[in-house]
Amino acid sequence: MTKPIQRISNLPREEWTDAAREVFAFWGEPNAWEEGSSKNMSMVLANHPPLAVAYCIFGKHLLLNSTIAVRARELIVLRVGYRQKCEYEWHYHVGYGLTAGLTLEEIGAVRDGWQSPVWDGKEEDRIVLRAVDELIDNARIGDETWELLNRHFTRQQKMDLVFTVGNYMMLSWAAATFGIPVEEDQDLIGFDLKTRSGSDPQGGFRPFEKD
């Protein structure tokens, strides 16, 4: 794992306007208004507050108000993160996935995609991963996969699924292009599921969830 060259830096303190502080504090992270966010993603997006707030409002729906269950959402994000080789999203969502009930074996199988035997007997998981791959590869979900989705998801859930894939594709592009690194205090989890410390990956929480 090579630390990316950061093309857009975390917003310097001398540029912390009230608009930028709204970005830091958007997700309810304690003390973020005064001290900035602990997450590089927010600190980079704060370089462009109108864009960042608009994006976060969209992201808030997908994170807090989505009709998709947390397990399916984490499968989506992990598959997108792996396919796009987005270290930032992969690192955090391994932890979030574990907290959501995914096993390390299942997270490892996300790398192999929907055809992995780990998904035998888990049709919903398999079809979610298949839909993600079709959107990435073909820019649309095929008819057969759509019919399979109909067995498990409502109309609104299918809409949330498509927009969740698109959201994390966009976020992966931003992280890769801007060079946003995983924070130094994190025990970085690689695509091989090995950590910097050599310990097993652990479940994780977003900053606003810790309390």
All domains of the chain in start order, with CATH? 16-63 (no CATH), 68-191 (1.20.1290.10)
Predicted local distance difference test score (pLDDT) of residue 207: 73
How many percent of the chain have pLDDT more than 90?
A: 94
CA distance 5 to 141: 35
Predicted local distance difference test score (pLDDT) of residue 211: 47
Q: What is the rounded average pLDDT for all residues in the chain?
A: 95
For residue 4, pLDDT beyond 80: no
**pLDDT tens digit string along 22-31?**
999 999 999 9
Predicted local distance difference test score (pLDDT) of residue 127: 98
CA distance 190 to 196: 8
**pLDDT tens digit string along 100-159?**
999 999 999 999 999 999 999 999 999 999 999 999 999 999 999 999 999 999 999 999
- Using pLDDT thresholds of 50, 70 and 90, give the confidence band for residue 3: confident
Q: Rounded mean pLDDT of 184-195?
A: 96
- Using pLDDT thresholds of 50, 70 and 90, give the confidence band for residue 1: low
Predicted local distance difference test score (pLDDT) of residue 38: 95
CA atoms within 13 A on the CB side of 145: 19
For residue 162, pLDDT beyond 50: yes
Which CB contacts under 8 angstroms, 24+ apart, belong to 158-162? 160/62, 160/66, 160/67, 160/68, 161/68, 161/72, 161/76, 161/128, 161/131, 162/135
